[in-house]
Amino acid sequence: MPLMVVHHPLAQHYLTHLRDETTKPALFRTLTRKLTILLAIEATRELRLTTHAIRTPLMSINSPVLDDDLVVVPILRAGLGMVDAITELFPEVSVGYIGMERDEATAVASSYYRKLPDVTGRTVLLVDPMLATGGSAARALEDLYGQDPLRVQLICVVAAPEGVARLEADFPSLNIFTAALDEGLNDRKYIVPGLGDFGDRLYGTF
């Protein structure tokens, strides 16, 4: 299951308002957080459980609780808009950061920051809203897979077929969760129909 498109009606509703060019940064941030919750629910279906002995008001039972060691890694800057949703769902999650910026002219990503916990044997949620050429995610994934994680789930808002194909070829065990697989990239390597520059719309830097 390398690519999963989340077709939940609420996810599609949020995405439409994110795509809408009249949506302003304050609402854009709220929609990003809400949509990330829905995507993260899908991306964490396979988390391990253990059981705890508890007493309900009626009897004693062994009942399931999460037993997975989670790490969330946003790709700065736009991925930051997705972190709060994950920390809300999983308060015990560790947070690492990878800073990556695409060159405006070449669309080639270069790394400018890295602060990661040890991800060995852990489930990593890599969050970056736009998967375009796949260059930014690929650089981050090389770093993460180098540490032998249990699994890596990439959560994005919109993906382009070009980026998905690149990551599927280079990282066969990666799972990708997105709200949309769009038509493709334009000549500036922006996703179409897409939603524009996610970081600029999130932070009002036009």
- Annotated active-site residue in 106, 120, 148, 205: 106
Strands 158-159 and 191-192: unpaired
Told to check if 138 binds ligand URA by CB under 6 A, we report: no
Told to check if 190 binds ligand URA by CB under 6 A, we report: yes
Q: Is the peptide bond before 193 cis (omega within 30 degrees of 0)?
A: yes
Q: Which stretches does DSSP call E strand in the chain?
A: 3-5, 49-55, 60-66, 70-76, 94-95, 97-102, 109-115, 123-127, 130-131, 151-155, 158-159, 175-178, 180-181, 184-185, 191-192
CB nearer to ligand PRP: pick between 117 and 196: 196
CB nearer to ligand URA: pick between 23 and 94: 23
For ligand PRP, the binding residues in 84-103 under the rule CB under 6 A are 100-102
Tell me which stretch binds ligand URA (CB under 6 A): 15-23, 111-119, 171-179, 197-205: 197-205
Element (H, E) at 190: none
CA proximity to 156, closest of 104, 79, 80: 79
For residues 134 to 173, the per-residue mask of contacts with ligand PRP, x marking binding by CB under 6 A and - elsewhere, is xxxx-------------------------x----------
- 19 labelled catalytic: no
SS3 of residue 76 by DSSP: strand
Told to check if 107 binds ligand PRP by CB under 6 A, we report: yes
How many residues bind ligand URA (CB under 6 A)? The answer is: 8
Interface residues toward ligand URA, by CB under 6 A: 130, 132, 190-191, 194, 197-199
